[in-house]
Amino acid sequence: MPGNRGVMYEGPGTVEVHETDYPGFELKDGPGVNPANVGRKLPHAAILKTVATNICGSDQHMVRGRTTAPQGLVLGHEITGEVVETGPDVEYIKTGDLVSVPFNIACGRCRNCKEGKTGVCENVNPDRPGSAYGYVDMGGWVGGQADYVLVPYADWNLLKFPDKDRAMEKILDLAMLADIFPTGFHGCVSAGVKPGSTVYIAGAGPVGLAAAASALLLGAAVVIVADLNKERLDQAHSFGCETINVAFGEPKEQILHIIGEPEVDCAIDAVGFEARGHGNESEVERPATVLNSLMDVTRAGGALGIPGLYVTGDPGAADEAAKQGSLSIRIGLGWAKSHSFVTGQCPVMRYNRQLMMAILHDRVQIAKAVNATPIPLDQAPRGYHEFDEGAARKYVLDPHGMLSRTS
């Protein structure tokens, strides 16, 4: 049995790479594992050799100490891997398959899964619907920022790449299928992006950039990306987006300058609960800023896609209400403008096969759009630090050196 290493959360601001258990076909006790899941038998699971595993902005919320994540939690929910072992109940996934792992863990059997709502599976997290690898309050499934990882319900969850050699040629692009590409795409679909749309995207981190690439793929006429970080805005501009630096003020006047009117057809929140204010308040955390500004700049009858993360518990929030996930949202404005809102985890399986085909047939270059940057697993602490400092990169961990051989 090979050894295993994992990227562990060791307290606010600190991640370290440590030796960890090799996966088995039973969920064992450990940091963050829900007691009701301990001892759960997993004959339907597969063990993967991790080919690529990405650092996500959602991971950063935990690492900053903005959640109740326990020390020792193995991180990582964006996983691409090669199957090395399957449980006795796995029928169709085979050893040697190269696969993408949706970050949502789903059973495929419950009512929500059968309705395509895999982000809120009812059977994998005893606390509430919805689960993910290596994430706080998500059932305790071990994260994939590791050499090897276990994936339950393998026949249902895993997306097999049809040609392994061809997939390895585009592996950095395909690594985005686990989360940010479907998530950005879901934000656009939820907001009603279509050919000719004018689109405003708050946030030029990897999800915002993926949403921008998705909007262009869907035929948007103008894609406007807003952020406080010039380097990230430059990255958005590099593939055809208009940009707004909200450090200079509210976006409405800048939108007017770009498209000739102060409102857009569609808007996407790719920031979430750690949002900061605009203009003179750009150094101050204002968790409702993005939601309120999106309602302000979206036309009446429009829609808001909200893939940005909002939490029910934020111990680092500035006020008591925000610590419980209660924000000062101008819901009256949204009501008056008849806005539609779509929130929650992206149901990755709704989109990942189609987006895989778009990658394989050169309809999109998502790795280039998000500036995907491979680094070895043991450099994960550096990747987390640089990403937290605002680097305009999507860091992709390369545990076995397989990405360096293709780049």
pLDDT at res. 107? 98
Q: Tell whether the model's pLDDT for residue 318 goes beyond 80.
A: no
Rounded to an integer, the average pLDDT of 276-304 is 91
Q: Tell whether the model's pLDDT for residue 127 goes beyond 70.
A: yes
What does the block give as tokens for 348? 């990755």
Q: Which residues of 248-261 are buried (b: 16+ CB within 10 A; e: fewer)?
A: eebbbebbeebbee
What does the block give as tokens for 306? 């909200």
Contacts of 185 (CB under 8 A, 6+ apart): 210, 211, 214, 217, 218, 346, 351, 355
Mean pLDDT of the chain: 95
pLDDT tens digits, one per residue of 348-401 = 999 999 999 999 999 999 999 999 999 999 999 999 999 999 999 999 999 999
Pick one of 3.40.1360.10, 3.90.180.10, 3.40.640.10, 3.50.50.60 as the CATH number of 5-179+347-398. 3.90.180.10
The answer for 373, left when phi > 0, alpha when psi is -120 to 50, beta otherwise, is beta
Q: Where in the chain is the domain with CATH 3.90.180.10?
A: 5-179+347-398
Q: Nearest Cα to 209, choosing from 230, 190, 237?
A: 237
User: How far is Cα 83 from Cα 47, in angstroms, rounded to an integer?
Assistant: 6
Give me the residues paired with residue 159 across strands. 100
Q: Tell whether the model's pLDDT for residue 327 goes beyond 90.
A: no
Q: Which residues of 111-124 are buried (b: 16+ CB within 10 A; e: fewer)?
A: ebbeeebbbbbbbb
pLDDT at res. 406? 54
Q: Tell whether the model's pLDDT for residue 90 goes beyond 70.
A: yes
Q: Tell whether the model's pLDDT for residue 145 goes beyond 70.
A: yes
What DSSP assignment string belongs to 287-345?
A: TTHHHHHHHHHEEEEEEEEE-S---S--TT-SSHHHHTT-----HHHHHHTT-EEEES-
Contact, 37 vs 27, CB < 8 A?
A: yes
pLDDT tens digits, one per residue of 333-345 = 999 999 999 999 9
Contact, 147 vs 3, CB < 8 A?
A: yes
The CATH code of domain 181-343 reads 3.40.50.720
pLDDT at res. 279? 85
For the entire predicted model, the pTM comes to 0.96
pLDDT tens digits, one per residue of 198-246 = 999 999 999 999 999 999 999 999 999 999 999 999 999 999 999 999 9
Rounded to an integer, the average pLDDT of 254-259 is 96
Q: Where in the chain is the domain with CATH 3.40.50.720?
A: 181-343
User: How far is Cα 221 from Cα 198, in angstroms, rounded to an integer?
Assistant: 6
SS3 369: helix
Percentage of residues of the chain with pLDDT beyond 90: 87
Residue 297 amino acid letter:
V
Q: Tell whether the model's pLDDT for residue 405 goes beyond 60.
A: no
User: How far is Cα 42 from Cα 90, in angstroms, rounded to an integer?
Assistant: 10
What does the block give as tokens for 194? 């279509």
